[in-house]
Chains A and B, each alone.
Chain A
Amino acid sequence: MATTIDGAAAPAIEAPRSPQRRPVRTKARTNFELYAWLFMRVSGILLVFLVLGHLFIMNILDGGVQRIGFGFVAGRWASPFWRTWDLLMLVLAELHGSNGLRTVINDYAERPQTRFWLKMLLYVSAFLVISLGSLVIFTFDPNIS
């Protein structure tokens, strides 16, 4: 065995052309990030129409926000068209926004614990917002008092 002058073992030298060592992969390899990226584009294009249409009707058309009240909502939600519109907008916007915030957390939160809990908070809030919003759209009662 080769030794150096001071008696320590010489560092092992790998044989030429030995395969390059790669870092060990700790997580299963999936295409999640690809689908998340694609979802942002697809939902984004749909949201351009859904949200800008919503803002135009609610804030600009025919007196804007001044005319909004319970009666106005009841009138709109009498139509399945606007209920579908609002439900689709709710789900897409919340998922699009949550994925955006997930990216922001991944970029700025450094400690693993902070990243984990911020994302848990985000996922719980997204679940609650989608659940509450859908519940309200599906169970809306125009005769409630």
Chain B
Amino acid sequence: MPKAPAGTLYRGREGMWSWVAHRITGVLIFFFLFAHVLDTALVRVSPSSYDTVIATYKNPIVNLMEVGLVAAVLFHALNGIRIVLIDFWASGPRFQRQMLYTEIVLWVILVVPGTYYMLKHTVESLFGSAS
């Protein structure tokens, strides 16, 4: 008899895909946190070593990755609130799908202006300021 696949079998649709996205964003954020505590620890070494590493964050490509990070954290946060509501609100499981769509709308509403402000400086320095 073939061996059952590892991991968790699930039922597809919104419930499964939000779970997959929650897991992927969670692992991503965990590894970033590891790197981020190490880079911040350089304030205990010297101002110049800290500033050198922080300069990496101001690089255009890394800046773009920061937008990805903020988008991932925002999804994980909103989806986490949805999970708490599913677990603790009596009608939560019944509205889990509607809550996911509400969450996606909120996510877009917050990510669009966030991206604008996060990339403003990079875009202006790369392509020149219009003003």
Contact = CB atoms under 8 A, between A and B. Distances in A.
Interface of A: 41, 44-45, 47-48, 51-52, 55, 59-60, 63-66, 68-71, 73-74, 90, 93-94, 97-98, 100-101, 104, 107-108, 110, 125, 129, 132-133, 135-136, 139-141, 144-145
Chain B interface size range: 35 or more
B74 A52 contact: yes
A94 to B, nearest CB: 7
Interface of B: 6-8, 23, 26-27, 29-30, 33-34, 37-38, 40-41, 43-48, 50-51, 54, 57-58, 63, 66, 70, 73-74, 77, 80-81, 83-84, 87-88, 114, 117-118, 120-121
Given A70-B43, A133-B37, A44 B7 contact: no
Contacts of B46: 144-145
A100 B50 contact: no
Q: What's the dominant secondary structure at chain A's contact region?
A: helix
Contacts of A101: 27, 30
Given A94-B37, A125-B34, 13 more contacts: A41-B83, A41-B84, A44-B81, A48-B80, A48-B81, A59-B66, A65-B54, A93-B33, A100-B26, A132-B37, A133-B37, A136-B41, A136-B44
A135 B40 CA distance: 11
Contacts of B88: 41
Contacts of A125: 34
